Amino acid sequence: MIIDSHVHAGYSDALLHSWDTFEDIQVSLKRMDEHGIDRAIVLPIGSDNYDIHNRQTAEIVARYPKRLLGYAKLSQRQDAGRVEPLLREAFEKLGLVGLKLHGHPNREIMEVMARYNKPVLADVFGDVYPLRYVAEQYPSVPIIIAHMGKFLGFDGAMRQATLWLVRTYPNVYFDTSSVCEHEWLERTVAEGLSHKMIFGSDGPALHCGVELSRVKMLNLPKDREAMVLGGTIARLLGM
């Protein structure tokens, strides 16, 4: 089974870019069909009012229950003091299966995530190293570093820090979305860390077929490729 672990869908209030205006799940589903991708994890868009966006994500997932799973999202600053009820609704009522963050997790968030034992997908905009403290303090919570550290990043030191984290901490992983310098995926494989690499596209802004080809071009043994393309994230989600 191939699972795209990083797909956006839904509406938001800003009107500046696709990722804060509207991302159409139909575009992603069509591309998934064309490229043999079985399932996808849907992430909310926007930068505020995440209780509304989490419900919207759950509605999208409910329309395609055999194809889609959903993550919640929240704001470390705006949602301070109400993380627990937000995530309780997301996980227990809405059936969402993980959490997407922009920025670093804080203790209020991680205390709740540790109780639910669900993964955190963190887009830290290249500031990778501080995730070591999250991994050390909450070893039972899977931490997935979005974009191997940064969207379309070209910072070798940042990539090295990501590899150090996934090598050092059993609960740290990264997704492959937008990793345009292919050598870093090759280096991950050469260091025996392909089991820490999770396929994601950041679709529909990035094409899932193109992002899938990055993994295919690694020419991994079939069992290891299967882990990257779906096995590892399925295990983390208890599928």
Structural domains of the chain, ranges and CATH numbers in brackets? 3-236 (3.20.20.140)
Q: What is the pTM of this model?
A: 0.96
Q: What integer pLDDT is reported at residue 163 of this predicted model? A: 98
pLDDT in tens, 71-120: 999 999 999 999 999 999 999 999 999 999 999 999 999 999 999 999 99
Angle between helices 182-190 and 156-168 (to 10 degrees): 30
Helix (H) or strand (E) holding 135: helix 131-137
Per-residue pLDDT of the chain (239 residues; tens, 9 = 90+): 999 999 999 988 777 777 777 799 999 999 999 999 999 999 998 777 899 999 999 999 999 999 999 999 999 999 999 999 999 999 999 999 999 999 999 999 999 999 999 999 999 999 999 999 999 999 999 999 999 999 999 999 999 999 999 999 999 999 999 999 999 999 999 999 999 999 999 999 999 999 999 999 999 999 999 999 999 999 999 99
